[in-house]
């Protein structure tokens, strides 16, 4: 397979700038003072670590690792671990902040955190990746734990990564600590339904957004950017609901079929080849073209900063459901608002993963496994309850869904701060 091209992000904008801008707007609207803004802007704790790796050929390489705990006023910090060559401290800071708002919006007893290692996993063997995971875990182990900070999978990591993290952390404690991570294999205490949770949540909210706009699934077309953990499941769930998904993309290519994509066939192709490229049931198109296709629903489910002021004016979709974290820049958000495009923000749309992570954490604390039907029922209930709250707030005050969601989340976190007070 050829090396994947880098994902297009105009000017490689810093996602932290967008996160801070969103926070600043919410704080100003709520009438909070400068001290509150500073309190909510600054991470409560962050760590940068060196991750030395002995490669299979015996050479030594040192990677950069990070863990940022943005806030834990509402409970332990919670957030994924990303393995990507694009990982930077500012990116992790932004993602940790968005996790704070996401957990608060979903009314979960968590604050926000995020972690990452600057590495391209495709260039390393499984044995090398295990060494990286275990060393990274040992370096951040003083600040994580089931009552402190609970990591989970993200881009470039998976259930196996979480198994290695749990084992490494448990070895330092002398006993098995199942609740230190979520997104684990089910055999190690992972929750049924966790792997598909974010995708299901995206689909639940997308269908609710269609109903809000008076649109029927069977008369709706969609495009999904990203065919990984979130995008693949979201595309399949949307298709199952009757939506004609005409385009998907991954880091290598994008494909389009006006008749709709056969996801059983595409899934088999991707499992065999590792990419959507070369799929015979659709035509290959430019990856950036997917964002501006004439579809009703667009689901950006790859990385942050892909919808910018350079392409927002060309987006034809009436509804955008953010499967990724921070896919829309502040400048693009303003353009889409002026054009009347309904944007379902990331802190609402992709919260399914952290909801079921919460269920997994609760199950670990109870040493009791919930049945799949119960997990999926409670996931749907939480997603749709949050959707109704945000829509009601937006409609009542004439705000966008993102503004309404941010105001709700920031207010809840601030109330937690005020209730706890400052330590003298």
Q: What is the pLDDT along the chain (424 residues), one digit of tens a residue?
A: 333 333 334 445 788 999 999 999 999 999 999 999 999 999 999 999 999 999 999 999 999 999 999 999 999 999 999 999 999 999 999 999 999 999 999 999 999 999 999 999 999 999 999 999 999 999 999 999 999 999 999 989 999 999 999 999 999 999 999 999 999 999 999 999 999 999 999 999 999 999 999 999 999 999 999 998 899 999 999 999 999 999 999 989 999 999 999 999 999 999 999 999 999 999 999 999 999 999 999 999 988 889 999 999 999 999 999 999 889 999 999 999 999 999 999 999 999 999 999 999 999 988 889 999 999 999 999 999 999 999 999 998 899 999 999 999 999 999 999 998 876 6
Residue 63: Cβ within 10 Å count: 18
Residue-by-residue DSSP string for 73-95? SSSSEEEEEEEETT--HHHHHHH
Q: Which DSSP letter does residue 251 get?
A: S
Tokens for 386, please give them: 């949050």
Q: Which DSSP letter does residue 319 get?
A: E
pLDDT at 96: 97
| Three-state SS at 118 | strand
11 burial via Cβ count (<10 Å: 0-12, 13-18, 19+): exposed
Tokens for 259, please give them: 């008749």
| Torsion of the alpha carbons at 279, 282, 286 and 288, rounded to the nearest 10 | -100
Q: How far apart are CA 160 and CA 186, in angstroms?
A: 11
Tokens for 46, please give them: 């962050």
Q: Which of 79, 78, 82 is nearest to 64 (CA)?
A: 82
Report whether 115 contacts 66 (CB < 8 A).
yes
Q: Which of 49, 105, 43, 54 is nearest to 77 (CA)?
A: 43
Distances (CA, A) of 229 to 57, 179, 183, 202, 323: 31, 22, 12, 12, 10
Known catalytic residues are 114
Phi, then psi, of 304 in degrees rounded to 5 = -75, 160
Confidence (pTM): 0.89
Find the radius of gyration of the CA atoms of the chain.
21
pLDDT at 2: 35
- 112 pairs with which residues across the strands? 78
Count Cα atoms within 13 angstroms, Cβ side, for 170.
14
Residue 324: Cβ within 10 Å count: 25
Token pair 């806030």 in the structure block, residue: 71
Tokens for 293, please give them: 């296709």
Count Cα atoms within 13 angstroms, Cβ side, for 193.
24
For 245-266, b/e burial (b = at least 16 CB within 10 A) is bbbbbbbbbbbbbeebbebeeb
Q: Which of 67, 100, 98, 97 is nearest to 81 (CA)?
A: 67
Q: Which helix (H) or strand (E) holds 283?
A: strand 283-285
Q: How far apart are CA 57 and CA 413, in angstroms?
A: 49
pLDDT at 397: 86
Q: Which helix (H) or strand (E) holds 235?
A: helix 231-240
Tokens for 230, please give them: 């979130």
Report whether 314 contacts 238 (CB < 8 A).
no
Q: How far apart are CA 347 and CA 88, in angstroms?
A: 21
271 burial via Cβ count (<10 Å: 0-12, 13-18, 19+): exposed
Domains and CATH numbers, the chain: 43-177 (3.40.50.10860), 197-349 (3.40.50.720)
Report whether 203 contacts 344 (CB < 8 A).
no
Q: How far apart are CA 280 and CA 266, in angstroms?
A: 9
pLDDT at 423: 67
Q: How far apart are CA 235 and CA 247, in angstroms?
A: 9
């Amino acid at each position: 397979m050829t090396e994947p091209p880098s994902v297009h992000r105009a000017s490689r904008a810093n996602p932290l700038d967008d996160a801070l801008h969103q926070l600043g707007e919410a704080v100003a609207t709520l009438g909070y003072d400068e001290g509150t803004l500073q309190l909510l802007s600054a991470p409560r704790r962050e760590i940068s670590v060196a991750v030395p790796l002995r490669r299979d050929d015996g050479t030594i390489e040192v990677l950069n690792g990070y863990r940022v705990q943005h806030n834990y006023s509402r409970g332990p910090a919670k957030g994924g671990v990303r393995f990507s060559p694009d990982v930077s401290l500012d990116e992790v800071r932004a993602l940790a902040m968005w996790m704070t708002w996401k957990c608060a919006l979903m009314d979960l007893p968590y604050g926000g955190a995020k972690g990452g290692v600057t590495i391209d996993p495709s260039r390393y063997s499984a044995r090398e990746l295990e060494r990286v995971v275990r060393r990274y875990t040992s370096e951040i182990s003083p600040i994580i734990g089931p009552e402190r900070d609970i990591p989970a999978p993200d881009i470039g990591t998976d259930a196996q990564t979480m198994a290695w993290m749990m084992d490494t952390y448990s070895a330092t404690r002398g006993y098995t600590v199942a609740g230190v991570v979520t997104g684990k294999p089910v055999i190690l205490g992972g929750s049924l339904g966790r792997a598909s949770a974010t995708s299901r949540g995206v689909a639940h909210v997308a269908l609710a957004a269609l109903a809000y706009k008076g649109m029927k699934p069977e008369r709706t077309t969609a495009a999904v950017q990203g065919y990984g953990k979130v995008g693949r499941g979201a595309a399949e769930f949307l298709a199952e609901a009757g939506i004609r998904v005409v385009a998907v993309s991954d880091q290598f290519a994008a494909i389009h079929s006006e008749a709709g994509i056969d996801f059983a066939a595409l899934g088999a192709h991707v499992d065999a080849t590792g990419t959507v490229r070369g799929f015979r049931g659709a035509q290959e198109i430019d990856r950036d073209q997917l964002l501006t296709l004439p579809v009703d629903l667009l689901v950006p489910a790859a990385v942050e900063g892909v919808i910018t002021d350079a392409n927002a004016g060309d987006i034809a979709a009436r509804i955008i459901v953010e499967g990724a974290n921070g896919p829309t820049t502040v400048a693009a958000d303003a353009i889409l608002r002026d054009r009347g495009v309904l944007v379902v923000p990331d802190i609402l749309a992709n919260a399914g993963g952290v909801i079921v992570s919460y269920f997994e954490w609760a199950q670990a604390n109870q040493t009791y496994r919930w049945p799949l039907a119960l997990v999926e029922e409670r996931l749907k209930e939480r997603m749709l309850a949050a959707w109704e709250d945000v829509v009601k707030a937006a409609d009542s005050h004439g705000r966008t869904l993102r503004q309404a969601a941010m105001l709700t989340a920031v207010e809840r976190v601030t109330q937690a701060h005020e209730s706890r007070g400052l330590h003298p």
